[in-house]
Structure 1
């Protein structure tokens, strides 16, 4: 199909619009079995994905499901429905559109299964749930297309693996199913194309004109950033001035806690009472929806937010994006930049605000990467087997299955194309028996093989339990927060551990408000208003980003310049002083420094492997140092370095970085560590060994942790080769501890270690002493003691001289 049906063409003409070249190309290639469109934000990607559907249904109206739209966010699905209804209603097309997410009523969900709309907008979790019903074949009998929006975001997590397994099921039910992937930020198009293909079918890639480069730079401030910290309070006046100069500004942060702190400080400085909101995933849904509606209505001048507004939701007339804190990842930065001037061929406008002096360097490296169109991303490994186990249970909930047929179906999906039959059978045995150590317990003997060879649920009542626990998103252990009093309005959620640390009268920030803890009632934190005291900060888990390896490489290359005209003078002088006093880290080499400070021997490793990996490296190096009799006493880690202090100086660092010894040490450390137990709980929950919900009741975090810890200890003692323990080890190595980055760092360095021994703190090491937890000061003297510590460090490292030098004019 190369032409739009008359009603659609008339609608375009009435608005004075013409199809973009990539939108016309999508119509021309509508019959392809699999197609990936990469188009800039504001380029009409979503409409491009739907045009063939609208054209086909306009030309040949029909009942039943024609197109599935998959979104990574419930809010995005609702937003797309609103936008999609505009051309449908104004062009008078006989097309029905509905969304189906966790917010959809039970009655409506049942009706959608029996009589689905022409276009159903949903999420990976809801689609997986739909495939678990006995009537799935009837529901999906006529489906012809699936549109996967923001596919890059799904491909980065287990939600993407779950989605591809569900689509493999749909491909069996509807063999002619055509797939369309949409994204603005794909660093490796060929990898995403392989990910979304099914079996031997190849995905064609269509790349639209990327449009003009964004207008992006660092925000100029009167005050230089501090040497450490992540709040960027120094930039509040400059940020407020930018808000005054623009219609709507999105102010992105990397964590929810940082967003809360910044919003609080911004509001205190907001003397003009500009309407400013806050939006993040731990806030109550009602509060988020109020902010979203205010954005749509144009009633807000700024929104302090996190990744909750990263993706393609088109809220209001945003003309500026501010990223507070180093972006950590170029692809994420480009995605966020695209929220501003959300129009085709209009340059997005963005400002970066480094939170501290080192982040100035990272921001400059990120700016260079954006200008070079160099996106980053980590290569995907094989499909995780905990998701595979969950999908086997989903298949069983839908009815009896043949193991060979299911294996063929699953091994055609995305990252499971390398799945061996032995690996599949291992997962099937786990689902059927629970594994060697658990097969005596009925609750884990969930499947049985019939005389005809088909597999089915041992107890049909298990279908409800399976459906209640579908999903790969892991909840943090949180408690609801409400205003005190009967019927108190909800505010959001805080972590269970943080709530346990509160005593009556303590204050904390949530939703930009200072609230006073009054007590815990029926697993709900009750609070009252208290605007006059310094708050604690609620510990929101969210996502803690690590600097990408590609961005780290750029920083190392930037260090090798003779001078740094692209850096502010204060930062360039800092790096020059580091080169003068010691040396700067280099690509392909590992810089380590040792020097005395505060009566202890200090050892600094500049690994640039990301926070998780540098944290793990600190644990492993201190263990190695203990074995070598070096008496380490503690460590602190950032994205770029690990600082270890102890009683004895390191004279030869080479033996410390033996990869095999580090890996052995990691295995020993992990076996009984809380990190491993936390990873086990996540994997076991996805695989169905541990239930998040039972009998319609959600378990508390403490209940789930206790049961998972008991299971972990039992398996470790009686069945150390259990499938779940193997999966847990793989996930821990790849995720929380990021050992692959340590391994990559050691391979990149190849024994080329530059050990510089000095008599005092170096300029690059000085900020490490100011990291949280490193300077234990508290109480009313906190600010004065911290200021004294900063002054002492700056003087000792030579940075006081840099700080006092005038900026060149």
Structure 2
């Protein structure tokens, strides 16, 4: 279908024809939605031309008889800086080929300050940015003028952040933009939305999903996805790095033009990169990319990929989204994918053309990961997507937004309240909660109002709020943001060249003369200066930095599929012989935990008594359950000695046997022990630190100076103790509790697990370790070791455990 000339100018249709393309149905529908003045959500496969579909109405406006004049016309918001730069590169091609007078620029934390100032005074026609940079733009007095003529906002890869705090911030920014430019239309793009109506409601003004037109893309070619199996060895019992696959992976790199290799953590990216270089006898150009590398290092690698100069690139989620390198012919996922949508997104990096199948390989790290990979493969072939649920917007994010509005100029509390409520995540905010937020931004709360530094805004008699001092605006812009990483040290050579960042806690373990491997190089530590780790080239290999970033969660959808595979005995013939034998022996020796069941196995091992709970609820929920069970065991005199968890199971051991696990799993554990544990543990303090930074209560940076992680922690711990004692219902304690429950402990999945235990708990007592328990038991003593660091040791210990577990006597 080709749109009529009155919708799309002949110069644009001629451009499509010259490239051998046709305007696809979903691209036409996006043009029609724009002409009808509708908001729109486009859900289409990778390679379907989603980004071009989002921008086509803009190109059509500038190719028409009356092209727009100066001023910001279209705003593009991306979750990644790399994606914004990639889109700029690809958008300039049609603009140049068609001969359109469209100025396109990017804006992020990496943009020079002089360019940022010029963009506010003389904005481009199209601005590509991130949620955080957009929020900062809205904090300037020029915002009202800059955005007054805005016609369109395009939110790319909306699934990647809409359900989290970055999505909260963007939803509030969209509400602000809608107030400044009432005629603005919202567009969102995604390849992996599980429930489009939920995202339509998030995108729509006032949460009215019916006001958003849902456009579904043409179906593309089915991806070619397979699982890599060991050629001359068995699928490992333990470990997550899939280091066994590196020789086969290198052969794949040699056979293909360009291979993109995804890992789930920054540590694993460095580790797999190192292993590949160890076998790189052909000296193939192989790169590495992750979020802790310097901007210069990332840009260099991105440029080399765009020019087709690399044979392989090892990366993390830093390249999950939208980056269009059409020459990639193979994607490899090292370790478990953790979700079908995430896997679909990564697979889509290969070929990046709708009509050509994307080729991908999965390299599982252990036997449970093989089952997870198989479940993900089935989900991808069925086109099944998964994702995180929406939850109420964070109060800390709302406080940051209120402060940004005050920095832009005085605001009326009633008008801003209506605006905030129009953002989907904040429909739940009532008048009383709104007053609490204003009071917090104004004074820090009842217990802190005596301190002048917390007095940031003040209200006059007419309900208008303004800054108490102009310096608060500069401090806000210096500290605003949603992503609160662990405090970092800049890794630099003595000449000042930056390589990237490592966490301060890791840097504290290093002494002069120690060696590390970072950014693919071996480096010797010369010393620490302020917040910089000074290094020089080293001749001997060193340890790889570990990072405390959040673990990728195993989705509920995928965990359900894995449980289904366990009891599908007829389907085991599809598995490698050693995986099939593992399940057959488990079936003979004990039970298999099918859907709806919670299996608990108890057995003696090395003079201790073990109970393994097969939950499949993810690491967070299992870790929380381990803390709660050991507390109850201690109260009952069962003398717990420790526990270890992975995504699939939890192993708890003690000096006395657990004869009946049911009392340890009663649902009232969430009403009593859970509250006490969270309040006593570091979790609530850690959550408070994050919300205190996001809300602006505690500042990480001052002009010309940045606080160390220890200084920030000391400040937040001090305030936390004061509030717990004198104002236990403080707004930020409420926000911290919400984070601790939802994100750090995954209380929702924990509750589902306890409900399952109450309904169908099966307890099996054994005389020795079971086959299914081996993968979690080999983690004992290594749960704090970065994944992949001890894989060789794991293999030795696993074979010893497996020998006992798989004996037929």
| Aligned partner of 1:209 among 218, 229, 232 | 218
Q: Distance in 2 between matches of 1:116 and 1:211?
A: 37
- Give the alignment's TM-score, normalised by structure 1: 0.95
Match for residue 115 of structure 1?
Answer: 122
Match for residue 530 of structure 2?
Answer: 522
Q: Distance in 1 between matches of 2:479 and 2:174?
A: 19
Indicate conservation of the 8 Å contact 2:156/2:189, yes or no: yes
CA positional deviation for 1:747: 2.1
Label 1:455 to 1:358 Cα distance change in 2 as closer, same or farther (>3 A): same
1:480 aligns with 2:487: no
Label 1:242 to 1:399 Cα distance change in 2 as closer, same or farther (>3 A): same
Q: Distance in 2 between matches of 1:225 and 1:505?
A: 38
Gaps of 5+ in 1: 803-809
| Aligned partner of 1:8 among 9, 12, 17 | 12
Indicate conservation of the 8 Å contact 1:297/1:316, yes or no: no
Match for residue 106 of structure 2?
Answer: 99
Q: 1:179-578 counterparts in 2 under 5 A?
A: 179-199=186-206, 201=208, 202-222=211-231, 223-315=233-325, 317-483=327-493, 485=494, 487-533=495-541, 535-563=542-570, 564-578=572-586
Cα shift readout 1:205-231 (whole Å, capped 9, x = no counterpart): 000112121000101331223110112
CA positional deviation for 1:2: 4.6
CA positional deviation for 1:610: 0.2
Match for residue 70 of structure 1?
Answer: 77
CA positional deviation for 1:749: 3.8
Q: Distance in 2 between matches of 1:126 and 1:434?
A: 25
Match for residue 23 of structure 2?
Answer: 19
Label 1:787 to 1:302 Cα distance change in 2 as closer, same or farther (>3 A): closer
1:607 aligns with 2:615: yes
| Aligned partner of 1:130 among 117, 137, 146 | 137
Label 1:330 to 1:715 Cα distance change in 2 as closer, same or farther (>3 A): same
Indicate conservation of the 8 Å contact 1:330/1:375, yes or no: yes
Cα shift readout 1:78-126 (whole Å, capped 9, x = no counterpart): 1111211111122111222111111222222122112211111111111
Indicate conservation of the 8 Å contact 1:224/1:234, yes or no: no
Q: Distance in 2 between matches of 1:338 and 1:776?
A: 33
Match for residue 42 of structure 1?
Answer: 47
Q: Distance in 1 between matches of 2:222 and 2:799?
A: 42
Match for residue 171 of structure 2?
Answer: 164
Matched residue SS, 2:40: strand
Q: Distance in 2 between matches of 1:17 and 1:553?
A: 41
Q: Distance in 1 between matches of 2:724 and 2:584?
A: 52
Match for residue 674 of structure 2?
Answer: 666
Cα shift readout 1:682-712 (whole Å, capped 9, x = no counterpart): 1111111111222342222111111011111
Q: Distance in 2 between matches of 1:408 and 1:776?
A: 47
Indicate conservation of the 8 Å contact 1:220/1:238, yes or no: no
Indicate conservation of the 8 Å contact 1:477/1:700, yes or no: yes
Cα shift readout 1:381-400 (whole Å, capped 9, x = no counterpart): 11111111111111111111
1:649 aligns with 2:669: no
Q: Which stretch shifts more, 354-363 or 474-483?
A: 474-483
Match for residue 806 of structure 1?
Answer: none
Match for residue 700 of structure 2?
Answer: 692
Please, what is the CA RMSD of the aligned residues?
1.9
Gaps of 5+ in 2: none
Q: Distance in 1 between matches of 2:357 and 2:534?
A: 46
Match for residue 38 of structure 2?
Answer: 33
Indicate conservation of the 8 Å contact 2:238/2:794, yes or no: no
Q: Distance in 2 between matches of 1:467 and 1:702?
A: 22
Cα shift readout 1:371-429 (whole Å, capped 9, x = no counterpart): 11111112111111111111111111111111111110010012112322222111111
Indicate conservation of the 8 Å contact 1:229/1:355, yes or no: yes
CA positional deviation for 1:784: 9.2
Indicate conservation of the 8 Å contact 2:321/2:345, yes or no: yes
Indicate conservation of the 8 Å contact 1:282/1:540, yes or no: no
Indicate conservation of the 8 Å contact 2:582/2:806, yes or no: no
Matched residue SS, 1:493: strand
Indicate conservation of the 8 Å contact 2:33/2:213, yes or no: no
Match for residue 94 of structure 2?
Answer: 87
Matched residue SS, 2:672: helix
Q: Distance in 2 between matches of 1:6 and 1:559?
A: 57
CA positional deviation for 1:529: 2.9
CA positional deviation for 1:267: 0.8
Q: Distance in 2 between matches of 1:131 and 1:309?
A: 28
Q: Distance in 2 between matches of 1:373 and 1:784?
A: 37
- Give the alignment's TM-score, normalised by structure 2: 0.95
Q: Distance in 1 between matches of 2:197 and 2:792?
A: 55
Label 1:774 to 1:120 Cα distance change in 2 as closer, same or farther (>3 A): closer
Label 1:387 to 1:15 Cα distance change in 2 as closer, same or farther (>3 A): same
Q: 1:768-779 counterparts in 2 under 5 A?
A: 768-771=776-779, 773-774=781-782
CA positional deviation for 1:509: 2.0
Q: Distance in 2 between matches of 1:609 and 1:252?
A: 23
Label 1:174 to 1:466 Cα distance change in 2 as closer, same or farther (>3 A): same
CA positional deviation for 1:490: 2.0
Label 1:785 to 1:189 Cα distance change in 2 as closer, same or farther (>3 A): closer
CA positional deviation for 1:506: 2.6
CA positional deviation for 1:12: 2.4
CA positional deviation for 1:772: 5.5
CA positional deviation for 1:6: 2.9
Q: Distance in 2 between matches of 1:2 and 1:730?
A: 51
Indicate conservation of the 8 Å contact 2:43/2:189, yes or no: yes
Match for residue 54 of structure 1?
Answer: 59
Cα shift readout 1:32-90 (whole Å, capped 9, x = no counterpart): 33100011111111110111111112212211111111111112111111211111122
CA positional deviation for 1:510: 1.0
1:746 aligns with 2:784: no
Q: Which stretch shifts more, 194-203 or 367-376?
A: 194-203
Label 1:717 to 1:274 Cα distance change in 2 as closer, same or farther (>3 A): same
Q: Which stretch shifts more, 571-580 or 653-662?
A: 653-662
CA positional deviation for 1:488: 4.5
